[in-house]
Structure 1
């Protein structure tokens, strides 16, 4: 049975999924908060939550919100696991979590990801096996996996033609990784995943319009508009690393001159400091020296911050976010980076957005892998088709229909887990 678009039953099914999406994206919400987030009436939320509780899809428990007693709603954790995989330029990080976003195991390994896509997938597969072994799980327990890569990813999940990952020309991240792991895989750009991670776990909580700037080996931005990641027409929104800052500047890997990435990317900054500080080998070394008070390293980061501030100001002019969150390796410098970045913005931003708050990411270098977990969990159908097919069509969900859907889900999962 297929619900008729626009019908009362279709509307009620959509409302249930809105409630689930709100709870899943924030981990835990009171019923009053669900009503505010979804725009549904408190009575409708109460009915939906009650039926989802009867179906075994959510847990409802007493709590305190804003100093007042409230009924807190969470996704049930027993409904399976999700994987998050973050492919950086120089590392691979894998995390395993339940559907409440409780991270159960995590691994990170150094890897030259761009050199060979096949080798990088081998490392990722090995790390997945390690985290599953740690929790005593198997691939059958995993319901979905999210993966992030430092390159534009069109809506079909395949890598765009991009010189930043030369060893991935023949790789289909979703398809190839899905075959290796035996689960459905969903892919996105790493900056978009960083934005997701901060929305759920960090400085973006409660923010509907956000700009997440990742400043590391490369530069990218994840843009959140009305609570949703904005990908653009071809999936390349937020590629700020390839905005031209100096038309006569160095040649970039993309073929243009003077891109932001050629001025503030990790390799460029290390080259600037190489002659005076030959002992600094990594961006982490540079950042730590700046935090410890080294004048040369502070100058390098301050100059980089001004370039990033120019781009952040123009992002604010165009997108008008409530907050700018800065993540990536450079963000570990804290105010050493953020103070000159903020100081540069009023020069380039219109008055109405010149004072947009700029803060450091709260999730540190885990933002992308946490965002990958969120991406995976968002794809998990907690209700199944029966929940969309069986409604009373009057105005409230039929209790037996939702309960039957939940029972069917549990039976499928029992069979899935053996």
Structure 2
């Protein structure tokens, strides 16, 4: 079953990548014929023709008859008559910003590094400026941008657009994200926790399509989870639902950044993982550990497998409460594939309450490291619909 899921995800990813190449070529070069598109993208003329037809039907591209070198040709241009949305994913150490049309086709995107203790006001002002530059780069007017979705790695009170935690993201405690952005942009903004947005994207468009409830677990430098129940993200009273990384697994364990002891993040986050290997492997980054594990390094494979078992046990507790149909694993560590997922799945099956249908399926995120960004775009699109900016109900 997992091989089928993976094959489906791979085909979808390849199709999206090819569509992105076509859109990117038109964005960069302006009006192009299909023959020119095939040359620039390296795709076959037949593939380009199918993609152009599909994106034209979706309202992403416009086509018109033309003459090139004395021959009839099909001229392809961007179509944005129904507007665009922007997504901002502010991670612990980077910022990913994207612009998409209302069919969720990405028109432009950029990733920038952030200082370890980046401040809310400066980071959000930088993000707003980048969004404006992207709008200008696709030759769009400012009023074509309908809404902005923002994801931050901390609990968010979605009713006020304010970071509700007081200890999880230095420089962001109590940050009023919507108010800060309002100072530089008049575009409607929606803010949520990044893992919640990853869950939204995977449940609506990715690996969790057709399942309910969907649990999404993001495992990287930090650990978070999002739950989609009945098509809606579960936020809780003040946005702290799904803070899996701060589930206590050892009450005498290391002190966590949240102030508690023995949180899951202190034993299964990236810092703990690389620390375990420091004596035998020296200084490594998380990417180093994953690369070496995939290349067969026994120590790195063991460390990731142990992390997988720890995560599986914690997720089993989540499953006891929520009983999801599927668990989607995202974040940087998910790129370790079955080195992580196999032990995680075994621990989950061992520790979940036995039922006649067994443990929930565990699959990698279809959108990989872009799940949170795509969720931000989806949230922005939802806000645009709520405000009637699309002219149709959702």
Answer whether contact 1:305 1:338 (CA < 8 A) is retained: yes
Corresponding residue for residue 126 of structure 2 = 123
The 5-angstrom pairing of residues 202-351 of structure 1 reads 202-280=206-284, 282-351=285-354
Q: Which moved more, 1:349-358 or 1:129-138?
A: 129-138
Answer whether contact 1:342 1:358 (CA < 8 A) is retained: yes
1:207 and 1:78, CA in 2 relative to 1: closer, same or farther beyond 3 A? farther
Corresponding residue for residue 4 of structure 2 = none
1:311 and 1:383, CA in 2 relative to 1: closer, same or farther beyond 3 A? closer
Alignment TM-score, normalising by the size of structure 1: 0.71
Answer whether contact 1:151 1:164 (CA < 8 A) is retained: yes
For the residue of structure 2 that corresponds to 1:78, the secondary structure is coil
C-alpha separation between the residues in 2 aligned to 1:120 and 1:318?
36
For the residue of structure 1 that corresponds to 2:280, the secondary structure is coil
Tell me which structure has the larger Cα radius of gyration. 1
Q: Which moved more, 1:206-215 or 1:88-97?
A: 206-215
Answer whether contact 1:85 1:95 (CA < 8 A) is retained: yes
Q: Which has the higher contact order (CA 8 A, sep 6+)?
A: 1
Alignment TM-score, normalising by the size of structure 2: 0.75
Answer whether contact 2:293 2:336 (CA < 8 A) is retained: yes
C-alpha separation between the residues in 1 aligned to 2:286 and 2:119?
23
Answer whether contact 2:166 2:174 (CA < 8 A) is retained: no
Tell me how far 1:234 sits from its aligned partner.
1.9
C-alpha separation between the residues in 1 aligned to 2:92 and 2:384?
29
Which runs of 5 or more residues in structure 1 are unaligned? 1-72, 388-404, 410-418
2:388 corresponds to 1:364: no
2:93 corresponds to 1:90: yes
2:181 corresponds to 1:177: yes
1:278 and 1:133, CA in 2 relative to 1: closer, same or farther beyond 3 A? farther
Q: Work out the number of aligned pairs and report it.
A: 316
RMSD of aligned alpha carbons: 2.3
